[in-house]
Structure 1
Amino acid sequence: MRVRTPWVEALREQQRKGTDPSTPSGGKQQVLSDRKLAPKRMSDSFHKVVLPLAQDPWLLDTYLNSSGHIRLGTIFMDLDALSGVIAYKHTGEDVTTVTASCDRIIINSPLSEICDLEISGQVTYATGRSSLEITMQVAKAPKEGEKIKNEDVLINCAFTMVSLDPGTRKPVNVNPLIIETPEEKRLYALGERNSKVRKERNQTSLIKHTPNDLESDLIHSLWQKQLQYHDPHDPMRQPPNVHFMDHTRLRTAMIMQPQFRNRHQFMIFGGFLLKQTFELAFTCAAAFTHSRPTFISLDPSTFQNPVPVGSILYLTSTVVYTDPPLIGAPGETVDENSEYTRVQIRVDSKVRDVEHGASKPTGQFNYTFSVPKNIRVVPRTYQEFMMYLDARRRAEQVRDSIKEEGLGLGMKAAEESLTE
């Protein structure tokens, strides 16, 4: 369902019409304002796909990296594609549905062997407005007649999709959900909480508000620490495991080719962006730590603007936070001798046309990896301090979310998994 028309046909049709594919088609409303939106059940949108990795060595070949581990970036592409299938089963074909954000992707259990994987999901939160949350999982495919066990679930994740009018690109209402069973009530409550967290994060963002008192104290302590590192008369010199944030950046640029377009022909498939940002984040974490990172989670991340086919995509990855941190906030204990470190990588993306006109931000993606090293990052400019605090807030929110839902994987167990 991701691509329904060959590129050459779509291109010729666009040239015949003389329209700009990056703008709404004529601006005319195509979805009726009074269309019937009967409530639907969660099960109405349920969909699953089995990847026969243990049975098909050529298919497996496209999912493995050089060390024989499953490439998670490729799995992320599948998850985004499946979220589109599920969304259209709920909304119907008369709307345009796009990925607005990835609320989380969490490794829940380690993968100990190459096996067939079942990817499944359904709409779990929809109030009737334009957005809907889709909850999915990746698990070891069960034998016929058996159910998936909790310990066989590799990945839990949630995507937020938004439905738009194909002509005006304005949000349109979708079918609300019918909630019946206790499990459906639990899933709906999680979606409600995720929606509330997104709104709170937007309202309290550091772009709109100054850091709170505790964060201001933390900034001052970090600033004092970096001054010590630069003072030749201070015995506290910079330890070998502490690195400045501006030394951790990696950048890349690439042309967006039509083979990675979405079902609407002229924009790039969101799963491709997830794959590219993940692989850059993985590389950034490896370059920072000089070790093989293990993926822990994709923290709440947003898609801001579409990426047109033929444009130039620029990605910048930065190590923005390490847990345990170099310095804890007042009243916070820090394990200075920790064996493992959680490294949070922020990937900022922007797009320009080939002629390099004005650029647009296209999304911010926040990945967390585990590394078997004691290593720390420290900011030293005001912008870096804000990036550090934003990452710290995300780490706390994800930690609370994982604790509440009973999900997540210890760093030792994550290292033993057959995934990146």
Structure 2
Amino acid sequence: MAYISRTALRRLSTAGDCNCAYLGSLAFRPINSRSFQTSSIRRTDGVFKELTAQRVKTPWIEALRKQQAEAKSSTATSDKPSVPKDRQLTPKHMNDSYHSVVLPLARDTWLLDTYLNSSGHIRLGTIFMDLDALSGIIAYKHTGDDVTTVTASCDRIVINHPLSEICDLELSGRVTYATGRSSMEISMQVAKAPKDGEKIAETDVLIHCTFTMVSLDPSTNKPVNVNPLIAESPEEQRVYKLGERNSAIRKQLKETALVKHTPNDLESDLIHAFWQKQLQYHDPYDEQRKPDNVQFMDTTRLQTATIMQPQNRNRHHFMIFGGFLLKQTFELAFTTAAAFAHARPTFVSLDPSTFQNPVPVGSILYLTATVVYTDPPLIGAPGEKFDPDSEYTRVQVRVDSKVRDVEHGRSKPTGQFNYTFNVPKNIRVVPRTYQEYMMYLDARRRAEQVKDTIQEEGVGLSPKTAEESVTE
């Protein structure tokens, strides 16, 4: 049967009885026409709809008009009340904040379409967006809606076991560390979705990660206390102690940061050794020249600039949510590692990374990615053992972010993100300025810390095994 557009039908139906015979004959007369379909509404870029519904509840135009009206009226009251003084902070159980979501990637090919790259691998950057959105849901189940909760840091994301095929994925997590102050640690995992009545096997866990969230007063943006956590079972006590350890590590790294202190003796020796190596490369009377597999750090740098749109806002409307930054920084880091090695990188871990300042909607986000460390290194510390002829190289990429307003007046840093990849190539990076030496040493410290943590917890994959995964 032929189709007729709604507009044509409306015109014909209002033309009077004279067209009745014509309308009756349409069923027997071939008509060239188009049928139109509409796609489902997507409020954000790539975030799974069940997580989006929890995050963005008011259309952007309504939030914007309300803000503009409040700005014009000096008597208008803000929709950001202060935290109630009588707010109850009774201790909560870990399971009180538990939340899980299943991504039906194997069952919904159109959903899968938003998670795949050009080679048919699952884009980990999009999974990271979902994890950040999930961490927000978990945090608010613990704190309630009276506070503003933001992502302070992503402490670690590690691939535990590879995915051998596209399957449904279950994202789950809960608050695992909270002392009653403003911050809380949220532990999450991504695993193959189990069948009804079955539990997730350890070998089915793809990713384990921890995020640190901080609660603020909506009116003043100052930190506020949250409910302390009760750890009862042996397993809960174990993960709670891990949270204590992670908190201690963050404090230690902050106190010993190179911004505050000069390099130690071993690190100073490394700087001197790199400087001597560069002299050899440039000495016309020395036969040693820079090998083809060695690149200077400044030649590895890639940069992007992007305007921040409201489709990627958080639940408070006027700031970009952290998951979008994770996705953007991951994909730039991936590209930087690929350009450095001229080979396809395999993700190893997101090492401890910080969100320093919020990113406003409408601002310009600048990202700068640099290869800051390679393992095995070109020059090792005294007594350090490594294989200089290793088939694989572990590449650490640092992504620094900053924002400017559209007029490019004010500028502020917004975060530092540290990604590690394996590449099937023997390649090394060399710093040659003092700033690059500091970046190299900072990355070296981080790599040693993460290596110890991974060995202690028994996670991580061999480079060969990681290459067989269907993830990016």
Normalised TM-score (structure 2): 0.87
Q: Which of 192, 201, 210 is matched with 2:244 structurally?
A: 192
Matches within 5 A, 1:400-419: 400-419=452-471
Greater C-alpha Rg? 2
1:27 and 1:266 map into 2 onto residues whose CA distance is: 13
Structure 2 residue 321 is the aligned partner of structure 1 residue 269: yes
Which residue does 1:2 correspond to in 2? 55
Of residues 277, 300, 307 in structure 1, which corresponds to 2:352? 300
State the 1:34 CA deviation.
4.0
Aligned: 1:30 with 2:82: yes
Of 76, 82, 99, the match for 2:128: 76
Asked if 1:320 corresponds to 2:372, the answer is: yes
Residues of 1 paired with 2:453 and 2:331: CA distance?
25
Matched, 1:378 2:430: yes
Residue 50 of structure 1 pairs with residue 102 of structure 2:
yes
Q: 2:417 aligns with which of 365, 369, 390?
A: 365
Distance across 2 between alignment mates of 1:11 and 1:33: 29
TM superposition shift of 1:202? 0.3
> Once the 2 structures are TM-superposed, how far is the Cα of residue 409 of structure 1 from its aligned partner?
1.3
Instruction: Report the Cα offset of residue 403 of structure 1.
Output: 1.1
User: 1:124 corresponds to which residue?
Assistant: 176
Q: 4+ residue stretches of structure 1 with deviation over 4 A?
A: 25-29
Larger mean Cα displacement after TM superposition, 344-353 or 400-409? 400-409
| Alignment check: 8 A CA contact 2:375 2:395 kept | yes
> Which amino acid is 1:184 matched to?
E
- Cα pair distance change 1:29/1:10, threshold 3 Å: closer
Q: Judge conservation of contact 1:295–1:368 (CA < 8 Å) in 2.
A: yes
| Structure 1 residues 289 and 92: CA distance shift in structure 2, 3 A | same
1:240 to 292, 297, 304: 292
Deviation at 1:35, TM superposition (A): 2.0
Match of 2:35 in 1: none
Is 1:17 aligned to 2:59, yes or no? no
**How far did 1:358 drift?**
1.8
Q: How much does 1:271 deviate?
A: 0.2
Q: Give the Cα separation in 2 of the matches to 1:27 and 1:3.
A: 16
Deviation, structure 1 residue 232: 1.8
| Percent of aligned pairs sharing the same letter | 79
Q: Which residue of 2 aligns with 1:225?
A: 277
SS at 1:199 equivalent: helix
SS of residue paired to 2:55: coil
1:301-324 superposed Cα distances (whole Å, 9 cap, x missing partner): 000000000000000000000000
Q: Distance in 2 between matches of 1:189 and 1:343?
A: 30
Cα deviation, 1:25-75, whole Å, max 9, x if unaligned, reads: 979871134422110000000000000000000000000000000000000
Q: How many angstroms apart in 1 are the aligned matches of 2:239 and 2:460?
A: 17
Which residue, out of 138, 141, 150, partners 1:89? 141
Q: Distance in 2 between matches of 1:19 and 1:64?
A: 45
Q: Relative to 1, partners in 2 of residues 1:28 and 1:117: Cα closer, same or farther, differing over 3 Å?
A: closer
- 88-97 vs 219-228, greater mean Cα deviation: 219-228
Residue 298 of structure 1 aligns to which amino acid in structure 2? L
Post-superposition offset of 1:231: 1.2
Find the counterpart in structure 1 of residue 226 from structure 2. 174
What is the total number of aligned residue pairs between the two structures? 416
CA distance in 2, matches of 1:267, 1:286: 31
* 1:136 and 2:188 correspond: yes
Q: 1:254 aligns with which of 299, 306, 309?
A: 306
Distance 1:281 1:2 in 2: 27
Q: For 1:30 and 1:182, locate their aligned partners in 2 and report how far apart those are by CA, in whole Å.
A: 38
Q: Say which of 196, 199, 212 aligns to 1:160.
A: 212
2:251 aligned with 1:211 = no
**Equivalent-residue separation in structure 1 for 2:72 and 2:145 (angstroms):** 22
Segments of structure 1 that go 5 or more residues without pairing to the other structure are none
Task: Specify the SS of the correspondent of 1:18.
Answer: helix
Could you say what secondary structure the match of 2:252 adopts? helix
Distance change >3 Å, CA 19–CA 227, structure 1 → 2: farther
Q: What is the CA–CA distance in structure 1 between the aligned matches of 2:261 and 2:178, rounded to whole Å? A: 30
Counterpart of 1:332 in structure 2 is: 384
- 1:289 is aligned to 2:341: yes
The verdict on how the C-alpha distance between 1:19 and 1:101 changes in structure 2, with shifts beyond 3 A counting, is farther
Which sits farther off after the overlay, 143-152 or 82-91? Answer: 143-152
What code does the residue aligned with 2:393 have?
Answer: T
Indicate whether 1:346 and 2:415 are aligned.
no
Instruction: Give the Å deviation of 1:334.
Output: 2.4
CA distance in 2: counterparts of 1:207 and 1:180, whole angstroms: 40
Tell me: CA distance 1:120–1:381, structure 2 relative to 1, closer, same or farther (3 Å). Answer: same
Q: What amino acid is aligned across from residue 49 of structure 1 in structure 2? A: V
Q: Output the CA distance in 1 between the equivalents of 2:420 and 2:164.
A: 21
Provide structure 2 residue ranges, at least 5 long, that are not aligned to the other structure: 1-53
Q: Aligned partners of 2:127, 2:237: CA distance in 1, in Å?
A: 28
Tell me how far apart the structure 1 counterparts of residues 379 and 305 of structure 2 sit (CA, whole Å).
34
Structure 2: how far apart are the matches of 1:14 and 1:28?
11
TM-score w.r.t. length of structure 1: 0.97
2:162 match: 110
Please tell me the residue identity of whatever aligns with 2:64. L
Query: How far apart, CA to CA, are the structure 1 residues paired with 2:423 and 2:391?
Result: 9
**Which string of whole-angstrom CA distances, capped at 9 and with x for unpartnered residues, describes residues 210-257 of structure 1?**
000010011111111111111121111110000000000000001000
